[in-house]
Structure 1
Amino acid sequence: MQVLILAFLLFSFSAHAATKPCRVDGFATEVQCGQIERPLNPADPSGKKIQIHYMVLQAQDRNKLADPVFMLAGGPGQSAINVASWAEGPLNKLQRRRDLVFVDQRGTGRSAPLECPETQDLSKIADAEWGIAALKSCKAQLQKLPYGDLRFFTTAIAVQDLEAVRKSEGYPAINLLGVSYGTRVGLEYLRQYPQTARRVVLDGVVPPDYALSGSDLQKALDSLFGDCSHDTACQKAYPLLAQSWRELLASLPKATVLKHPRLNTEASVSMSRDTVLGMVSAVLYSPLNSSGLPFAITEAKAGRFNPLLALSGMTALPNPGNIAVGMHYSVWCAEEAARLPLIIEKDDFGRFRTEAYRKICADWPRGEVPAVFYTLPKSPQPVLLLSGGLDPVTPPAHAAHVAQALGAKARQVVLGKSGHGMLMQSCVDDLVYRFINSEDPQKVELSCVKPIPRPVVWVLPKS
């Protein structure tokens, strides 16, 4: 008995030897914060160093389990620590007996951040060339930082940081919950460290072996048009919605006056085709926001772009989900740019997204990505893949492809009318809890996930 007590005390000490109490925005009480030193270039361990910061929400019960849940943020470019307060709710049941760990991936949050200052200047919001020039200027400033060699912020390197945090905290194995780009991080961790990944949950799957494009955005918009044509209220309010969209694009560029939805300031701009495509892309991520898109398209066709501006969130206050833009392009230009010339887009969104990345990545420093990164080995561990049927960027077909490659221990769940990110939909939080908590995840019942209707389309009330 004394040996067992001693072993428990040793585990309890080692599990949090590297952390200390701290205050983090979004939490009313103290949490645990830690940091570890890592080489900027793993091939040069004696060279420049960076600090990897992380936060631990400790298990609530004394009889805690040894395997925590590591939350992997999206983007690429989101800070896991910054979005922790959002994730705490759906992960509350898991925290009863497991630590929740949030690691700021290198280039984000507090871990050697690569941030480009955001602009609230409405007079430039529609100028795509200005945006590219601003990114080039930002890149030059980032390269002056002590850790400014932008080649060393790839996913494969960042996963090694996660493993270093696991070792520092003394966890024998970990569960991974990746959202959006975080699913690619989770898959790479599973590839590099399969024996310490106990369970893996992937929400909005980004396959490493698919060249990503914008064509799924067009499919999501076409789905909205199709649903509208079969809905009596929507069809009555917007009888020629798809035609209005085509006419809107054909009319661009168009001079207009934009009004900031928060500050009430105005700016005269020329709305370009790319700007409108970018705004609509942002709206399509959320079915709830998309319910206002028929109205916004109709208004934009008439020269009034303010509803579309507001829905897009382009002038929103900084929020925990904001992206470290320098890290975003350091990752994406390394991992996707080489495949861009192979993509031939056939629709407006595809051309817009692909051309934007081609221009930005043309002279962005690119890290080396091993060929094995783009592979999907059979998984020795159980994996749960979550997909939204209306997801415009990581549709169910992506998850189905990954599930087939991972093998018999992978299971996919699709929520038909959900968008990008399922964790807060239906009973998904309970499903994730049972999948991670079960000794036999293959026997976990998935039927609680029921289809939900598309949000009702917004129609201007009659005066």
Structure 2
Amino acid sequence: MNKRFMLRLRLMLGLALCSAVTAHANAAATTSPTKACRLPDFPQEVQCGQVQRPLNPAQPQGKQIDIQYVVIPSQDRNKLPDAVFLLAGGPGQSAISVASWATTLMARLNRRRDLVFVDQRGTGRSAPLECPELEKAEEVLSPEQRVKVTDDCMRQLQTLPYGELQYFGTSIAMQDLEAVRLKQGYGRINVVGASYGTRAGLEYLRQFPQSVRRIVLDGVVPPSMRLASADAQKALDALFRDCKKEAACNASYPDLENRWKKLLASQPQKISITHPRMGTPIKTEMTRDSLLGLVHKSLYSPNSLSALPYALTQAEQGNYAPLVTMTGATNLPGPGGISYGMHFSVWCGEAFAQSASLPANDDFEKLMADQYTQTCKKWPRSEIPADFFKVPASASPALLLSGGLDPVTPTRYGDEVAKALGPNARHVVIENTGHGLLAQGCIRDVVHRFLNAKEDSEAVKVDTTCVRQIPRALAWQAPVPPAASKVGKEAKP
């Protein structure tokens, strides 16, 4: 063969190869499980997908719902196949709505791994079960108002095309998650659950152990947990004890425990405050239950906990604005908002079912029990698998995170679950931190090392020496304005 013929042959083969690659790429694009989309908090395009799922798994050809999810793709050429799935809290929080925050926390992981955010059925974009009158929280609702609003919402939700509320439990939702994994073509995945998302993650691990490479549980909610007030009274009692020991706190807020008891006993009261966001007056009745509910919210974070002595003493003087404001009771619904219809569909069957026959041990437990009793006696409940309430031993490494001041998921829950999971579980505790550790100190680095370890044996022995125990936040003190005479003297030329 002459050289000219050989060159022409090579050119033709090259063109054919390019055409084949282009055709393959076009075919892949048309069959891609996701498409480019925009999210409010992302400057770049991300990938959106959906998978159609039966509302009732026992009727696979029956009524269908769309489970929506978002993928933040890795941009690395050497992309790793084990994606990270984040399971949101609540129950009732949209995973997609917190994707921006979570991506910031897991940016290092995102370099080589996809991050996946699935809106659990009943939340966000996946057949949402929203109760706007509960979610907007424009004012403090009395227990009677809350019951009425909740009942009205249940009836409205039942008129939706997917309004069979008994099909929104955790077990069914984790089958949806597995369907997303399969549609995306992932092998074993890494699961990161926060708060209620830890319970969902444990259920996914129970049903699909072969699909889990590693699991991170932040603020551990065991499947056997009662309603979320387990350690609220203990957290409040610890605040009273520590305030008494701290000289500055005790000087500013003496006898805080007894003053709290008197404040609680003095309810109900008609109160008037200025809406901190809108500047309009709010007149409402502060009941005993409303006050307990506001204090309960303040116990989650060490920052709000440190401001609680001030807020309580102000309320004692008739000024409830600091307490209402710092607990977010007048905030607009934010990215971390709760779809209360989904919340009750999950909690009434799973947590309330564990609590209904047990006596309440303190004011906070009684408050939760009373509120859920009124709602759950009417709310349709999921059918819960018998094994749901057990935590099986796991071959997959697990990293558990707990805060020592957490009023809802105390450290003993992490201990309990770590013991059940077996020798492949590690439990990290920061004593003077509240609910949720992923954003605390070097925890994100520990999580990165845990998920990035090549071998399971390395992951189980992840280095946690960077984690430091921190002191409890000091009680907040109101700034003292300078004396008028001093200001006057300083103002003279």
Tell me the TM-score normalized by structure 2: 0.90
Please say if 1:447 is aligned against 2:465.
yes
User: Which one of the candidate residues 178, 199, 220 is aligned to 1:184?
Assistant: 199
Please say if 1:311 is aligned against 2:329.
no
Farther-moved stretch of structure 1 (391-400 vs 225-234)? 225-234
Q: Secondary structure at the match of 1:52?
A: strand
The percent of aligned pairs where both chains have the same amino acid is: 53
Please say if 1:61 is aligned against 2:79.
no
Q: Which residue of 2 aligns with 1:230?
A: 245
The whole-number CA distance in structure 2 between the counterparts of 1:257 and 1:35 is 47
The whole-number CA distance in structure 2 between the counterparts of 1:426 and 1:289 is 18
Conserved 8 A contact 1:214-1:351: no
Please say if 1:201 is aligned against 2:202.
no
Conserved 8 A contact 1:296-1:308: yes
Q: Which residue of 1 aligns with 2:34?
A: 19
The whole-number CA distance in structure 1 between the counterparts of 2:140 and 2:411 is 33
Conserved 8 A contact 2:86-2:118: yes
Q: Which residue of 1 aligns with 2:317?
A: 302
Q: Deviations over 1:242-298 (max 9, x none)?
A: 111111011111122122111111122221000001111111111111111001100
Q: CA deviation at 1:175?
A: 0.3
Q: CA deviation at 1:310?
A: 0.2
Q: CA deviation at 1:99?
A: 0.3
Q: Which residue of 1 aligns with 2:400?
A: 385
Please say if 1:288 is aligned against 2:298.
no
Please say if 1:249 is aligned against 2:264.
yes
Q: CA deviation at 1:355?
A: 1.1
Farther-moved stretch of structure 1 (152-161 vs 333-342)? 333-342
The whole-number CA distance in structure 2 between the counterparts of 1:13 and 1:387 is 43
Q: CA deviation at 1:13?
A: 5.3
Distance 1:121-1:46 versus aligned 2 partners, 3 A rule: closer
Conserved 8 A contact 2:68-2:119: yes
The whole-number CA distance in structure 2 between the counterparts of 1:337 and 1:181 is 14
The whole-number CA distance in structure 1 between the counterparts of 2:285 and 2:132 is 23
Gap regions ≥5 residues in structure 1: none
Q: Which residue of 1 aligns with 2:476?
A: 458
Q: Secondary structure at the match of 1:292?
A: helix
Conserved 8 A contact 1:77-1:328: yes
Conserved 8 A contact 2:398-2:460: no
Please say if 1:436 is aligned against 2:451.
yes
Q: CA deviation at 1:346?
A: 2.1
The whole-number CA distance in structure 2 between the counterparts of 1:267 and 1:319 is 21
The whole-number CA distance in structure 2 between the counterparts of 1:412 and 1:337 is 27
Q: Deviations over 1:2-34 (max 9, x none)?
A: 9xxx9xx99x959x9200100011101110000
Q: Which residue of 1 aligns with 2:51?
A: 36
Conserved 8 A contact 1:73-1:178: yes
User: Which one of the candidate residues 167, 189, 203 is aligned to 1:152?
Assistant: 167
Amino acid at match of 2:243: C
Q: Secondary structure at the match of 1:454?
A: coil
The whole-number CA distance in structure 2 between the counterparts of 1:115 and 1:213 is 21
- Following TM superposition, the consecutive aligned residue runs of length 4 or more in structure 1 with deviations greater than 6 angstroms are none
Q: Secondary structure at the match of 2:231?
A: helix
Q: Secondary structure at the match of 2:53?
A: strand
User: Which one of the candidate residues 167, 175, 178 is aligned to 2:190?
Assistant: 175
Distance 1:267-1:121 versus aligned 2 partners, 3 A rule: farther
The whole-number CA distance in structure 2 between the counterparts of 1:215 and 1:207 is 12
Distance 1:94-1:121 versus aligned 2 partners, 3 A rule: closer
The whole-number CA distance in structure 2 between the counterparts of 1:213 and 1:199 is 26
Count of matched residue pairs: 455
Q: Which residue of 1 aligns with 2:8?
A: none
Tell me the TM-score normalized by structure 1: 0.95
Kindly report the root-mean-square deviation, in angstroms, between the aligned alpha carbons of the 2 structures.
1.8
Conserved 8 A contact 1:254-1:303: no
Q: CA deviation at 1:60?
A: 2.5
Q: CA deviation at 1:133?
A: 0.4
Q: Which residue of 2 aligns with 1:333?
A: 348
Conserved 8 A contact 1:64-1:97: yes
Distance 1:372-1:303 versus aligned 2 partners, 3 A rule: same
Gap regions ≥5 residues in structure 2: 1-16, 482-493
Q: CA deviation at 1:317?
A: 1.8
Q: Deviations over 1:307-329 (max 9, x none)?
A: 10001101112210000000000
The whole-number CA distance in structure 2 between the counterparts of 1:461 and 1:39 is 58
Q: Deviations over 1:203-249 (max 9, x none)?
A: 00000023235241111111111221121211111111111111101
Q: Deviations over 1:328-363 (max 9, x none)?
A: 000001112322222211211111111111111010
Q: Secondary structure at the match of 2:96?
A: coil
